[in-house]
Structure 1
Amino acid sequence: MSAVRIFVARLVGRTVFDPQGDRLGKVRDIVVVYRRTDPPQVVGLVVEIPGRRRVFLSIGRVTSISSGQIISTGLINVRRFEQRTSETRIIAEMLGRRVLLTDGGGEATIEDVAIEEVAPSEWEVAQLFVRRPRTTPSPFGKGATAFVSWSEVRERPAKGENQSAAQLIASYSDLKPADLASTLLDLPDKRMLEVAHELPDERLADVLEEMPESDQVRILARLGDERAADVLDAMQPDDAADLIAQLPEGRGETLLELMQPEEADDVRRLLEYEPDTAGGLMTPEPIILSADATVAEGLAMIRRHELAPALGAAVCVTLPPYEPPTGRFLGMVHFQRMLRYPPHERLGTLVDQTLDPVTPDTPASEVTRILASYNLVSVPVVDANNRLLGVVTIDDVLDHLLPDDWRGGRSSRQTRSRSAGARRVPTIAARRDSSGTP
C-alpha cells in the first residue's frame, strides 16, 4: 500500500471532524519539529475552533488526513495554541524560506511542503516544492520549479533579509480580515511584521481594524511614514482616529500631514470628540442623498460591495452640501422601506419622522439605549445647526462595550484590561506533554 502524501497548502482551511462527523474546526497550520538527520516530524495541527480560538491538535489524535478533510478522535484541548521554541509552523514559517540545493543547483524558495504518513499516526516532511530564481527573461516573471526531497536541500536563510511572506499570504487569501488578524497575532513577532510589510495597503488596513490597539501601534511603528499614511488612508476614519490617538503626538501629526487631505480632515474632526461620546464613536461616511433622489438611486448606493452592512441599512437625506457637515438633516430612510415602494419614488417622501438624531456630546450609554430601545442598527449625529456629521452604527457601539481584549490578541500584548477579566475556558483534554501529545 502506497504511503499517503499531502501538500500542506491544500490542507489550510480544511474541516476537522470527530468520528461522528461533527465539525470541530478548520486547519490553519501544521506544526513540525526538526530532527538531527531525518526529515522534520509532524507533531500536530493548529486548528481554529468556534470563537476564532486556535488550538493544538496532536497528530496522535488524528486518525485520517486527506486533501478534503481531517478525522480526529474527537478529543481536543481548547487551550489557546502557544508555539514552543523547538516547533516550526510550515505555513507561517517554512513557506517562503530560502534553501540551498545540494545538487549544485543554487538557491531556491520553498513554495509548498508535502507531508507523508510513514506509520500509523506518524507523519514527516516528505517533499518540497521549490522555485529557483529567474535566470532568463520570462513573460511570467518566475523561475523554474522542482520537487525535491528534504535530503536534497540545506537551509540557508539570507542574513539581514526578511523571509518572503508571499506564499503565506496566498495561503490565507480567503480569510476574512478578522480571521487574518487573529492568524497574524498567533505568529512570532518577526514573522508577523514580515507579513504585514507584504500585505497590500487595503488588506493591511482591514486587518489592523480587527486588532487590539496595542498591536496596531506595534505594526504601524515598524512601517515607514509614507506607508503608514497610505494604510491609514485605507482605514475607516473612526478606526484611523482611534489608532492615531494612541501614537506619540509628533508622529500622529506627521502621518496626518501625509494622508490624503479629505481623509485627514475626517480624522481630525473625530479626534476633537471624547472617545465615549457619539462624536467619538460615529462613522463620518454614511450614505447621503438628496430629497429628490429616488428609491432606485438609494438601493444602488447600498448595493456597493465595499459598504459595511450596518451602513447599508439606511440612507441619510439632507439638503446640500452632501458631505459632512452637510446641509440641514431631513431624516433617514431604511432600506426595508425602500423595498416597499416603486423605483421612481422620491426619498424625501419616505423619511422616518420618528427617529431623533443625537448630538456629538451624547454619552455612549445613551446612544446604546436608543439603538436597543428602537431596534436600530444606526443613529444619525447632528451638530447644533442640525447638520449631519455622521452616524453611530451598532458595530461601533459593540466595539465600545466589549472588553478591550475581545479581539483575541495575545494577553502579553494587551495594554489595557477590564477588571472583570476574561472567562476561563474549560479544558476537555489533557495538557500537552513534552512530546507534544495530549
Structure 2
Amino acid sequence: MSAAKVFVARLAGCAVFDPAGDRVGRVRDVLVVYRRKDSPRVVGLVVEVPGRRRIFLSIGRVTSIGSGQIITTGLINLRRFEQRGGEVRVIAEMLGRVVTFVDGSGSATIEDVAIEQNAQGEWEVRELFLRRPKTSASPFAKGHTVFAPWADVTESSNDDPQSARHLLATYEDLLPADLANALLDLPDERRLEVAEELSDERLADVLEEMPESEQVEILEHLEDDRAADVLDQMQPDDAADLIAQLTEERGETLLELMQPEEAEDVRMLLAYAPDTAGGLMTTEPVIVPADTTVAEALALIRRQDLAPALGAAVCVTLPPYEPPTGRFLGMVHFQQMLRYPPMERLGTLLDQKLDPVPADTSAAEVSRILASYDLVSVPVVDENHRLVGVVTVDDILDYLLPDDWRSHDEDEPAKLLRADTSPLEIVTTTAAASGRGKTHGSKS
C-alpha cells in the first residue's frame, strides 16, 4: 500500500474501486480510534455504495490510497455501517474541533487531518492542518494556518458554532436527500449543531427528506421564531405532516408565527383526514386562466424551484387563481403543450379524460387512479368543484412507504414481481407488506 501522507478532507467523495477496476462507491468519512499514548489509529472508511447505503470498509481491505482513488481487495461486507463505541469519524466529528498547543502558545481549529502509515504498516493520524484565531476585527480577516504533529496539541471542549460551519463546508454540494442522510449518520448533538447552521431554506429542504422522528427532534431544538421561518420554506403538505407530530400547543404557536398565507395553506391541509386526497395533496400547483398561451405556460413550468411532479401539468380554473380557486376547468400536460404552437390557448387543450377527485377520496383510490392512467398528478376539488390542490406521485409514495423506509435493510429478500409491474404497483405492494404508511395525523 502507498505510504504517502493523505489529507482526509480530500478523500471525501473519492471513488473506491475493486481490483477489476469496477467502482464500488465513494468515500464519505474516515474512522479512527483513540489510543492512550499514540496518535489515533485509522480502522476503516465509511463508503457510500449504490442505493445511498453507507458501509464500513476495513482499512485492512484497502490496498492503495492515492491519486484521487482507493483500491480494495474486492472483499467488501455490504452490511449497513453502524458506528461502535470508541470510534470517531474524522470529517463528521473531528473537523472543526478546537485544540490547544501543549507549549502554551494558544489554540486553533482543526481544518484537516493527515493520515499516514507507520513502520508497522498501520494508518494513523500523523499531522493536523490548523487555523489560528483571527487577530483582526475585520469580518474578512482569517487566522493564519499552521501544521502541527498530533503530539503537539490536546483537544479541548468546543461549543463554537464554527465547528458545525466547517463540517457544512464538506457537505456544500450535496443534494437535500444526500445531506439528510449525512446528518442522520451524525451523533444527535452534532446533528443539532449542524442543523442550527443551515439556512432556513436549506434546512427546510433537508427536513422534507428526513423521517418524522428526526424532523420533530430538530424542530423541537429550534426557537419558535426560527422554527416558524423554516416551516414557511417547506412545502405546505410536508409542513402539515410535521406540525401534526407536535403537541397541539406548540403547533398552534408555530402556525401563529408563520406567514399568514403559508399558515392558511397548512391549516387547510390539517383540516382533512390524513388518508384522503385532501390530506395528501399539495396546495401549490401551477394554476392559470384558460386564455393563457402555451408559451406562457411553458415559461411557468421552467421555474427552477418547481418540483418536477408539479411541472408535469398545469391546472386551468376560473378566478381566483389561489386555492380554493374558482371553478376547476381541467388540466393540460406539458407534452400536450409541446405539440401545439406557442400562441395556442390552454382552454382548447384541456384533458377531457381526466376527472378531478373530491377531497375526501381515499388514498387507496388516488393511488389506483395514478397507477391505472400512468399519471404524475391528479387534481383535487372541494364540494363546489373548486381546485384545492393536487396529489402527486411523490405524495402517494410518502404515504405508502413505511416510516422507516430510509433505513430499510436492502438485504431483505424481495418479492418476485412481473416484468411489466409499474413502479407505483411495486411501492404499493411493498407498503402493504409492511403494513405501515405515513400520515400527518399520527402523533409521535
| 8 Å Cα contact 1:212-1:409 kept in structure 2 | no
- State the Cα deviation string for residues 195-250 of structure 1 (Å, max 9, x = none): 11111111111111111111111111111111111111111100000000010000
Contact 2:31 2:45 in 1 (8 A): yes
Q: Which residue of 2 aligns with 1:429?
A: none
Amino acid at match of 2:203: L
Deviation at 1:335, TM superposition (A): 0.7
Task: Letter of the 1:69 partner, please give it.
Answer: Q
The residue type equivalent to 1:165 in the other structure is A
Counterpart residue number, 1:353: 352
Instruction: Give the deviation of 1:68 after TM superposition.
Output: 1.6
* Residue 431 of structure 1: aligned partner: none
Partners in 1 of 2:308 and 2:121 — Cα distance? 45
Q: Which moved more, 1:303-312 or 1:62-71?
A: 62-71
TM-score by length of 2: 0.89
Alpha-carbon separation, structure 2, partners of 1:392 and 1:240: 15
| 3-state DSSP of counterpart to 2:250 | helix
Instruction: Within 5 Å, give how 1:26-425 maps onto structure 2.
Output: 26-118=26-118, 122-138=122-138, 140-158=140-158, 164-408=163-407, 420=433
More displaced, 163-172 or 359-368? 163-172
1:165 counterpart SS class = helix
TM-score (norm 1): 0.90
Q: C-alpha deviations, 1:105-131, integer Å up to 9, x for none?
A: 311111111222335863111221211
Counterpart contact for 1:211–1:409, Cα < 8 Å: no
Residue 142 of structure 1, CA deviation: 2.0
Distance 2:258 2:55 in 1: 39
Alignment partners' CA distance in 1, 2:3 and 2:71: 17
Matched to 2:157, the amino acid is P
Query: Does the Cα contact within 8 Å between 1:31 and 1:88 map onto a contact in 2?
Result: yes
Moved more, 213-222 or 249-258: 213-222
Secondary structure class of the residue paired with 1:232? helix
Between 1:283-292 and 1:14-23, the stretch displaced more is 14-23
Q: Give the whole-Å Cα distance in 2 for the aligned partners of 1:216 and 1:305.
A: 25
Q: Displacement, 1:36?
A: 2.1
Q: Label 1:330 to 1:296 Cα distance change in 2 as closer, same or farther (>3 A).
A: same
Question: 1:364-419, CA deviations, whole angstroms, 9 ceiling, x for partnerless residues?
Answer: 01101111111100000011111110100001101111111102289xxxxxxx89
Change over 3 Å in CA distance of 1:304–1:419 after alignment to 2 = closer
Q: Who is 2:11 aligned against?
A: 11
1:83-121 deviations in Å (ceiling 9; x for gaps): 112111001100110001234331111111122233586
User: Contact 1:6/1:67 (CA < 8 Å) preserved in 2?
Assistant: no
Question: What root-mean-square deviation, in Å, do the aligned CA atoms of Structure 1 and Structure 2 show?
Answer: 2.0
Contact kept in structure 2, 1:313 and 1:377, CA below 8 Å? yes
Q: Is contact 2:277–2:391 with CA below 8 Å preserved after alignment?
A: yes
Q: In the aligned structure 1, how far is the partner of 2:344 from the partner of 2:87?
A: 63
Amino acid at match of 2:153: V
Q: Percent identity?
A: 73
The alpha carbon displacement at 1:139 in A equals: 5.6
Distance in 2 between residues matched to 1:2 and 1:57, nearest whole Å: 17
User: How far is the alpha carbon of 1:361 from its aligned partner?
Assistant: 0.3
Relative contact order higher in (CA < 8 Å, ≥ 6 apart): 1
Residue type at the aligned position of 1:62: V
Higher deviation after alignment, 316-325 or 125-134? 125-134
Would you say how many aligned residue pairs link Structure 1 and Structure 2? 414
Q: 1:427: which partner in 2?
A: none
